[in-house]
A and B are shown apart, each in its own frame.
Chain A
Amino acid sequence: KAGVTQTPRYLIKTRGQQVTLSCSPISGHRSVSWYQQTPGQGLQFLFEYFSETQRNKGNFPGRFSGRQFSNSRSEMNVSTLELGDSALYLCASSFGGPTASSYEQYFGPGTRLTVT
């Protein structure tokens, strides 16, 4: 079974631009969660989507948004990029269930975003 895939793997953007990251979950998984990882803050939860609906949200500004399609693929968008948005963005998929933590989460390799 193919794992979680994320595209692109690396991205360089300038301040003020916007970016869209993509995540394809494991076949059959309906939950997709997004995380930001930085050396200073560690892993931080952005949001979780289940059956095309945002089910949980972390403490990030509205510049960070996402969506999920009917095939469970998910996209994350960051508008008006800031230098501090430079990070590894990880997505994780799971079967779903009552909450995102009900089942095992499988992480993708991440997208390394650099904002200059």
Chain B
Amino acid sequence: DTAVSQTPKYLVTQMGNDKSIKCEQNLGHDTMYWYKQDSKKFLKIMFSYNNKELIINETVPNRFSPKSPDKAHLNLHINSLELGDSAVYFCASSQRTRMVSDTQYFGPGTRLTVL
């Protein structure tokens, strides 16, 4: 009964490859997010989707393309992977898009290592 799940948990790949990370939430939330946590644990938002629509894009390189087939899923596809993409990627969701008091629920993270 995991609320926010991500697959895979670990991803090791070579530079230049293309990879995807999947996220699913079973909370019935409208909004989903992708965050990147670097090696120093700094956590920064990348994207936010509301009901399949992109609402926040934090000047992420266009090699990163989020896709939301429905409001319960938000996948992250990364083209031409670079060493600097190595990080832990977290998916999150919240119930109501414009409610600033809403809690965001985080997935367990995907540790991406680019060799």
Q: Do A and B come from one complex?
A: no
Q: Give chain A's interface residues, CB within 8 Å of chain B.
A: none
Q: Give chain B's interface residues, CB within 8 Å of chain A.
A: none
